[in-house]
Structure 1
């Protein structure tokens, strides 16, 4: 038997990873990558940072870790992989085990035979089905040519007004890129919140921060794009508002590019992604599919999801590459949909289930806590982090975490991602042996402190109340005592201004006479981050008050305007 013939369709991330792994497993295999675009192995998650000018050398998006540009010459010399760029595969002939392709430069067509085939065709950017969508000045940020277009706009400095449509990960990252270019931006999101992987409270905190940089419009979609002489001049919203602009970046999500697979008769899943098993094998045993074009199982819900993340694409490519050569010996189990983005000086990340998604999926017996505290000591210039943790109330199993703030969000999300992947319970985290030194963390790491709060709540040591719940109570004018236990100087600098009474924690035991005579009266306590609020609640409970709650995250996590 001759050398195994492997064809990979798609040369962005997953495809080259599969081809490279297959080469490492078999020096003699004949491996060919067909790539419709002109470039190979692009670091597409880096596009917003190239557009924004975090770096200026475009070739860095195409470089290996050693700094060598991954072009056709590189793939042949370093990996003995043949690459055909600007070449589109137009059909998969499963019966003959051949692919048909067209050279986009010359128009010539051809056929190539395979023993094993990998489909890594990625995803397609969604565009709103409204008039004017083809006007010049409307773009996505999915391809390297999109990045080149936007970088040219930044460098020329002519365009001063832009609209970003979509408040998801790509939309949020595009904001920063265009803001750095000195462009005035309006962000439009059809849904009532940004970043739908966050719960509303956390998303509201992000929105509040974003509004310090750009204009944000929620619950309003695009009705049409308005232009003159084929060039964009304004975006018209569904409520009739017209926003003048010279540039619109559409970032309303992506759909799996399943066209080739579908036409070849391969099974497509309910999310629109190509159906694959844990070996990344399609319903044809000689064809594998990887990356943004597939659907994979969610490890908590066990339901299929479309998870177009660059890290998952590379992991799937590695699994498929080995299985191409050795048979189905390694598995890709699925995802917990861990994600993170940079937003000016903020990090925003999540892993596992949010509270609202957990409830939608039938997880009714869950508990949540919010922890607002520093990532490292104040004397080491620590920055605020706000974490929301979701756990199963009965078992204590960790279901999800969301982290936002100027502190080290990535570290925190990584800790919770591994806890969820390892099926940890809250009790497994409360004494976690994490590294500590003041330049890196608090003595009790922010993640461990979050677990402590959850453990206390699960034990019934305190009851908390969310900012949204308190807001509703205020709206309904419910009778309650609002207790701020910070120091007077803190109160003068920042306060909510919702009718709260100031009694510093150190004075509370001596001022219990100022508390309501009715010990069943609702009391809500807080401080900056609600650690002192929790201690105040314990003091009041010890003195017979039976309806004391702690405001989650304190003033630091209050998502609405304050008096000061």
Structure 2
């Protein structure tokens, strides 16, 4: 009988444990060792903000199995016959000798472990900008369970009154929500002019407005140049315009970078973006070494380019592929990602998949977009608002991207479009998608289908659309356009945009055409609450000879700028 296969897995958060567990399921007799630098294993790191914010109180839920058993070394040994070494750091890979040198951190003891197959799942490191004072007590991140414990203690002890979050991405706003729920006055500082860079600007602005209604401050276009302190403890931050903000806590959330130093020192190929280069089998440039999770690069299924995708679900998928292939080589593939993500920010869900409009244009693609607003389910069932943007290739109609925000159920809409992108479906495919319908779950025409129908109309030339941002630009520049609101007088009085609009309700439009510009080439911009009536009004006007009628997509509900009340 041949000797059992010796498998080493470096990294015990997400991809590593998944790879080890998959390998065990395929080979009962392999010798599998898991090396983890932290004291905890298999942490649900995406749950850290919700533990900090008090959504749940038992930290063991972050490291527990579905059966409620803590995933500690004893669990891995008894349930999976995997040897888990915690507080142990892999410091060197000797590819020629096929060994990994490890150090037990509490004692400093060094030892070597042999391997036949090696999986590197070292994750990512939080970016720490080279700003004076960043090592002060009170400056932290939310990357490890220890970070989560420290921030949870701040919440429980109510020891902080004012905090800043540096970075306006997903993690930054999840932390912002957690701190606000703890009653801490919180300011988010974002160096660029927009939060949530994966969204197009007008959708990001809607989220920004929502965050402000929950008492958080947002400063855009300014970076932190110094963390201020006294006696080694944080007292404030200084911005690049000289402004100083007092605070007792600063959470730095400006992104992560692949933790690929160990692989690089071993001579493995590193990609353009700093991650370990792997093929579709999660195999590195050394055929006996695999990599998975945030430490490696992967392929965009849309562009074919390499990219980093530091998401927990991707780490688990890649770990599973690596774990299968260390036992049965080349039997599983990970083709790439569509870059899909979702988060909750107070009462809003923010979801996205594929390319934004800006990203697609930066890549030189010829695209068309459609923005819609509406409810997730019928009003009589308590429907909640969703605002979405669908992006497609103009010539082929291939779906390229989708963004969906609002208090409604965005998750299944994002999931639907993610699979459409994965299957290279077109707008025409989505227009007639057979999706589940019942009033508690959906409209008769689901939000995704409506977005596709609007985009189909634009691609076919049946509708000329304008984004709210484009309308705002025309108004600010004093463009010679006629702005027509076709809502009811009651809706108009309850909320008007204040952009020089004229109210003519849709039902009265045919009888009041004389009130419109008689120059049939003058631009008319028409809208309603969500612009369904706006589209119908545009059809009426076009049929009666007006040649430059455009619909403001998404209507009043997609307007992120100041309004009249």
Task: Give the TM-score category using the shorter length.
Answer: over 0.9
1:274 match: secondary structure: coil
Aligned to 1:219: 221
Hey, what's the Cα distance between the residues in 2 that align with 1:21 and 1:138?
38
After TM superposition, the structure 1 = structure 2 runs for residues 138-149 of structure 1, keeping only pairs within 5 Å, are: 138-149=139-150
- 1:107 and 2:108 aligned: yes
TM-score, length-normalised on structure 2? 0.99
Q: Distance in 2 between matches of 1:111 and 1:362?
A: 50
Write out aligned runs for 1:387-402 (5 A).
387-402=388-403
| Aligned counterparts of 2:455 and 2:71: Cα–Cα separation in 1 | 47
Q: Which residue of 2 aligns with 1:320?
A: 322
Q: CA deviation at 1:383?
A: 0.3
> Could you tell me how far apart the structure 2 residues matched to 1:498 and 1:471 are?
8
Please give the alpha-carbon distance, in whole angstroms, between the structure 1 residues aligned to 2:420 and 2:287: 34
- State yes or no: 1:85 paired with 2:86: yes
User: Aligned partners of 1:40 and 1:81: how far apart in 2?
Assistant: 12
Normalising by structure 1, report the TM-score.
0.99
Where in structure 2 are the equivalents of 1:508-527 lying within 5 Å?
508-527=509-528
Give a deviation string over 1:286-325, Cα, whole Å, max 9, x none.
1000000000011111111011000000000000000000
Distance 1:445 1:552 in 2: 17
**Helix, strand or coil at the partner of 2:297:** strand
**Aligned to 1:211, what secondary structure does the other structure show?**
helix
The residue that corresponds to 2:20 in the other structure is 19
TM-aligned CA deviation for residue 205 of structure 1: 1.2
Matches within 5 A, 1:386-535: 386-535=387-536
Q: CA deviation at 1:211?
A: 1.6
Counterpart Cα distance in 2 of 1:295 and 1:176: 30
The Cα shift of 1:336 comes to 0.8
- Secondary structure of the 1:275 match is coil
Q: Does 1:330 align with 2:332?
A: yes
- Residue deviations 1:332-363, cap 9 Å, x none? 00111000110000000100000100111111
Partner of 2:351: helix, strand, or coil? strand
2:203 matched residue in structure 1: 202
- Identify the range of structure 1 (510-519 vs 523-532) with the bigger mean alpha-carbon deviation: 510-519
Distance 2:23 2:109 in 1: 29
Q: Which runs of 5+ in 2 are unaligned?
A: none
Deviation at 1:62, TM superposition (A): 0.4
Q: Tell me, in whole angstroms, the C-alpha distance in 2 between the residues paired with 1:556 and 1:54.
A: 30
Give the CA deviation at 1:212.
1.5
- Tell me what 2:354 maps to: 352
**Deviations 1:455-474, CA, capped at 9 Å, x for gaps:** 11111111011111111211
Contact 1:128 1:222 in 2 (8 A): no
8 Å contact from structure 1 (residues 274, 295) kept in 2: yes
Alpha-carbon distance, 1:409 to partner: 0.8
Q: Aligned partners of 2:472 and 2:498: how far apart in 1?
A: 12
How many angstroms apart in 2 are the aligned matches of 1:489 and 1:43? Answer: 49
**Structure 1 stretch 61-70 or stretch 250-259: which is displaced more?**
61-70
SS at match of 1:294: coil
Q: Tell me, yes or no, if the aligned pair for 1:118 and 1:290 is still in contact at 8 Å.
A: yes
For residues 167 and 495 of structure 2, what CA distance do their matches in structure 1 show?
33
Structure 1: which 5+ residue stretches go unaligned?
none
The within-5 A match list for 1:176-325 is: 176-213=177-214, 214-325=216-327
Query: Deviation string for 1:488-536 (max 9, x for gaps)?
Result: 0100000101110100000001111111111111110000000000000
Q: How does 1:39-54 map to 2 (within 5 A)?
A: 39-54=40-55
Secondary structure in 1 matching 2:294: helix
- Alignment partners' CA distance in 1, 2:285 and 2:420: 33
Q: Distance in 2 between matches of 1:134 and 1:211?
A: 29
Aligned length: 563
SS of the aligned residue for 2:213 comes to coil
SS in 1 for 2:68: coil
Q: 1:41-92 deviations in whole A, cap 9, x for unaligned?
A: 0000000000000000000000111111111111011100000000111100
Deviations 1:95-128 (A, max 9, x none): 0000001111111110010000000000110012
Between the aligned partners of 1:128 and 1:222, the Cα distance in structure 2 is 9
SS at match of 2:512: helix
> In structure 2, the residue corresponding to 1:39 is in which secondary structure?
coil
1:231 is displaced (CA, Å) by 0.3
Shift in Å at residue 24 of structure 1? 0.1
Of 91-100 and 61-70, more deviation after overlay is shown by: 61-70
Deviation, 1:479, is: 1.2
In structure 1, C-alpha distance between the alignment counterparts of 2:517 and 2:193, rounded to whole Å: 39
**CA distance in 1: counterparts of 2:330 and 2:82, whole angstroms:** 22
Distance in 1 between the 2:278 and 2:92 partners? 19
Structure 2: how far apart are the matches of 1:313 and 1:42?
A: 12
In 2, are the aligned partners of 1:234 and 1:246 still within 8 Å (CA)?
yes
Match of 1:361 in 2: 363
Asked if the contact 1:463/1:549 (under 8 Å) is kept, the reply is yes
How far apart are the structure 2 equivalents of 1:81 and 1:158? 41
Give the match's secondary structure for 1:556: helix
Mapped pair 1:119 → 2:151? no
Give the drift of 1:432.
Answer: 0.6
Counterpart secondary structure, 1:107: coil
Superposition deviation, residue 256 in structure 1? 0.3
SS at match of 1:563: coil
